[in-house]
Amino acid sequence: MSTLLTAPLNSGEATASSLSPRLRAWHAAGQDVAPEALLAEAFRYWGRDLALVTSFQAEGMVLLDMSLRLRPDLRVITLDTGRLPEATHEFMDQVSRHYLVPIEILSPEHAEVQRLVSQRGALGFRESRLDRQLCCQVRKVRPLEALFNGIERDAPAAWLAGLRREQTPSRSNAAQIAADDAHPGVWKLAPLAGWSATDVAAYSAAHAVPRHPLYDAGYSSIGCAPCTRAVQAGEGERAGRWWWEQDATKECGLHLTASGAPRRALDVALESLLG
């Protein structure tokens, strides 16, 4: 963390007062700044408390390359869901050797995965959207919550994500600087929010950024092996993710508590799974 400005520890809500004056001004203006300028200011303020969380897709690789030029001791964090393609593991090793950077690997809780698989089956996530969300919750969401709650390792105060507005309608309003709704007290930065796929490709080519091998096999977005496939010409960028879910909405169903309060079906299922 910068010795000039003191960023607060993760607690409560991430409010603009917990940003540096320059970050606060950019956040208030709501207009994009050059990714390199944003990264330079963010590292100046948060130092090593700003981490890159990446699955090594093209956008994450651009951020990795840009960030290491500013911060050679960057914290690089990834999530191994236990269902990643072997190509991702191999690429992760390649990236670590190429940039001489250690990679922190988050894993889901073994006991939770065991319960999930024994109750819902090894491919249970294909049974329903709720099952799919439950699997993502156990294998992705909860390990990230543990990271930002500071369980087992230092919690970053802010993190870099490779999302771009063009990728999906749900990302079309993504801000470069935002309080992370999912993790109280944490800031989420998306320096490439306004970039196009062409911008990403141009930076990658200009800087010889290593490329995940599955792109050459027709993948345009890369996640867990059983939930990701190559895309056909004319399909959307993320059409290969959970392709069996046909309807566009991604909302959970609602359950009611005994007192009549609405609860997400996912919360009910998770509670039942974890006992």
Is 135 considered catalytic here? no
Cβ nearer to ligand SF4, comparing 26 with 125: 125
Our finding on whether 227 is near ligand SF4 (CB under 6 A) is yes
Q: Reduce the DSSP state of residue 262 to 3 states and report it.
A: strand
Number of other CB atoms surrounding residue 216 within 10 Å: 8
Answer for the pair 137, 270: CB distance below 8 angstroms, yes or no. yes
Those residues with Cβ within 8 angstroms of residue 185's Cβ, 6 or more apart along the chain or in another chain: 8, 9, 10, 11, 12, 13, 14, 157
Site string for ligand SF4, 85-124 (x = CB under 6 A): ----------------------------------------
Q: Count residues contacting ligand SF4 (CB under 6 A)?
A: 12
The letter for the amino acid at 259 is S
What is the C-alpha to C-alpha distance for residues 176 and 174, in angstroms, rounded to an integer? 7
Site string for ligand SF4, 117-156 (x = CB under 6 A): --------x------x--xx--xx----------------
In the bound complex, what is the minimum distance in angstroms from residue 121's beta carbon to ligand SF4?
12
Q: Which residue is nearest to ligand SF4 (CB)?
A: 224
Place of tokens 């303020």: 45
User: 59 vs 56, 135, 188, 266, 271, CA distance in Å?
Assistant: 8, 25, 15, 29, 34
In the bound complex, what is the minimum distance in angstroms from residue 104's beta carbon to ligand SF4?
19
List residues binding ligand SF4 (CB under 6 A): 81, 83, 125, 132, 135-136, 139-140, 223-224, 226-227
Give the active site residues. 252
